[in-house]
């Protein structure tokens, strides 16, 4: 068996002077300490002074780097500095836009937790799909100082004149790379066209993709650029492993691991909603407390699952990439890639959910014969020196198929048929060879 690779998420030693040296007031420093956050992370060291100074920020930071507090803390300080009387109708001055309901809940919960020990009249409102739009309209009658929202619900409420952003002073786009993907891009463009031009804009992304850089060039001025990359360190934060296994034996291997390892909480990633239900049902029938977590569940059900997972009622949660955005469990023992992520970038997002807050975690990727080429691409993109293991009793027999890997790294992970994006790329490539205009792939 090979030696596992270990990875951390920080790139430098935290500032020994703490948050106060970054310009935060004493009450917010104490509030952060009440959450168990004693010293700023590297991204907080760089971002907080810039945000407090009113500068635009373009930041690349991995999961678990502390980026939420990097904008929530200075945001609350700015709102508290111009605090309205308790009974006054609130004017929305800070808007945080995120791609998923669960991430919205996480950001709002962080802001509310910081405010709890303070005598501050700052109102934080969460607006997402999957909840009653009528309830949102009623909630917004009193206004909100900070709104955390997904694009679709936000646009609906603005169209109904339930929310005005005329007084907006700061826009935060969290996980901007996700907001620019198909399904969000049009909504984001529609939103940006309706916001005041004179504002501070903070962009947070896992990658500086061409689309993110183009967004920054269009909507930011003299932005401070911050890059915090996950690098190998001596800290035993995440033990990474890759195991070769036949596709039809993955569930049996997963059962064996969960039954033999001392894991109290395990997050399992699959490619589809159907797979999350199918795999979790098989585990549950085998006597393992497992449940599915996917984007089609009602928001109240998703919140119940997260609360029960944090309380260790569920040992295993089986989820998709989109649904898992916003899952933040401080003591997550293991992440299992039942299916490899389609995007190589998502590998970092997935494994970064374990090994947090000084805890040690493990991330194991199941690699079938059909996914070996894609695993090699993931390993190359992230400079991983991880030897492919074999587990006794589960030695693979399936041969690796002889087919070229897509140049963009999409090796058909989500299914045998190409996606719309894959078809569009193929059409553009074929058109380029013929010298004609490319089709739209639909």
Q: Is the pLDDT confidence value at 411 over 60?
A: no
Residues 169-209: tens digit of each pLDDT:
999 999 998 888 766 888 999 999 999 999 999 999 988 88
CATH number of 238-389: 3.40.50.300
For the domain covering 5-227, report its CATH number.
3.40.50.300
- In terms of pLDDT, which residue wins out, 442 or 369? 369
Write down the pLDDT at residue 45: 93
Say if residue 136's pLDDT is above 60: yes
Considering the chain, what percentage of its residues have pLDDT values greater than 70?
Answer: 82
- Per-residue pLDDT, averaged over 265-294, amounts to 94
The mean pLDDT value for 321-335 works out to 73
Look at residue 15 in the predicted model and tell me its pLDDT.
41
Alpha carbon dihedral 231, 237, 242, 248, in 10-degree steps, equals -130
pLDDT in tens, 31-66: 888 777 778 889 999 999 999 999 999 999 876 678
Task: State how far the Cα of 103 lies from the Cα of 157, in Å rounded to an integer.
Answer: 19
What was the pLDDT predicted at 366?
97
With bands split at pLDDT 50, 70 and 90, how would you rate the model's confidence at 3? very low
Q: What is the pLDDT of residue 77?
A: 95
Tell me which long-range contacts 356-359 makes (C-beta under 8 A, separation of at least 24): 356/64, 356/330, 356/332, 357/36, 357/330, 357/331, 359/237, 359/330, 359/331
Residue 269 has pLDDT above 90, yes or no: yes
Q: How far is CA 294 from CA 84, 105, 151, 203, in A?
A: 39, 15, 19, 26
Q: Is the pLDDT of residue 4 over 50?
A: no
Q: Which of 127, 139, 144, 136 is nearest to 89 (CA)?
A: 144
User: Are the C-beta atoms of 110 and 76 separated by less than 8 Å?
Assistant: no
* Confidence at residue 361, expressed as pLDDT on a 0 to 100 scale: 86
Q: Please report the pLDDT score of residue 10 as a whole number.
A: 33
For residues 224-231, give the mean pLDDT. Answer: 79
Domain boundaries, the chain: 5-227, 238-389
Please check whether the two domains, 5-227 and 238-389, share a CATH topology. Answer: yes
Cα separation, 80 vs 94, whole angstroms: 12
């Amino acid at each position: 068996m090979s030696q596992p690779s270990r990875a951390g998420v920080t790139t430098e030693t935290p500032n020994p002077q703490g948050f106060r040296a970054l310009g935060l007031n004493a009450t917010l420093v104490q509030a952060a300490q009440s959450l168990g956050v004693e010293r700023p992370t590297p991204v907080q060291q760089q971002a907080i002074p810039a945000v407090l100074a009113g500068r635009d920020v373009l930041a690349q930071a991995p999961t678990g780097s502390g980026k939420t507090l990097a904008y929530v803390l200075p945001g609350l300080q700015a709102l508290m500095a111009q605090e309205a009387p308790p009974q006054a109708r609130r004017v929305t001055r800070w808007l945080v836009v995120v791609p998923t309901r669960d991430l919205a809940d996480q950001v709002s919960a962080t802001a509310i937790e910081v405010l709890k020990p303070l005598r501050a009249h700052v109102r934080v409102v969460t607006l997402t799909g999957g909840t009653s739009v009528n309830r949102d309209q009623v909630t917004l009658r009193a206004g909100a100082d900070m709104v955390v929202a997904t694009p679709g619900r936000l646009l609906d409420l603005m169209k109904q004149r339930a929310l005005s952003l005329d007084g907006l002073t700061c826009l935060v786009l969290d996980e901007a790379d996700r907001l620019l993907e198909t399904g969000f891009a049009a909504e984001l463009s529609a939103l940006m066209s309706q916001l005041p031009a004179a504002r501070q804009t903070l962009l947070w992304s896992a990658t500086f993709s061409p689309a993110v850089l183009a967004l920054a060039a269009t909507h930011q001025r003299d932005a401070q650029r911050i890059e915090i990359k996950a690098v190998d360190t001596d800290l035993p934060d995440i033990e990474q492993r890759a195991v070769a296994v036949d596709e039809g034996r993955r569930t049996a291997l997963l059962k064996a691991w969960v039954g033999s390892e001392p894991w109290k909480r395990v997050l399992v990633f699959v490619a589809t909603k159907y797979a999350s239900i199918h795999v979790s049902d098989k585990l549950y029938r085998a006597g393992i407390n497992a449940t599915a977590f996917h984007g089609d569940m009602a928001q109240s059900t998703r919140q119940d699952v997260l609360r029960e997972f944090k309380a260790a009622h569920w040992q295993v949660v089986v989820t998709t990439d989109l649904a898992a955005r916003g899952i933040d469990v401080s003591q997550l023992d293991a992440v299992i890639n039942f299916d490899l992520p389609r995007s190589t970038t998502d590998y970092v997002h997935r494994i970064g959910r374990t090994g947090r807050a000084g805890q040690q975690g493990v991330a194991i990727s199941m690699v079938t014969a059909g996914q070996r080429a894609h695993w090699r691409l993931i390993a190359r993109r992230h400079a991983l020196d991880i030897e492919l293991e074999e587990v006794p009793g589960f030695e693979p027999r399936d041969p690796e198929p002889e087919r070229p890997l897509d140049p963009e790294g999409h090796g058909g992970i989500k299914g045998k048929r190409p996606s719309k994006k894959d078809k569009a790329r193929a059409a553009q490539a074929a058109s380029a060879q013929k010298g004609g205009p490319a089709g739209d792939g639909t």
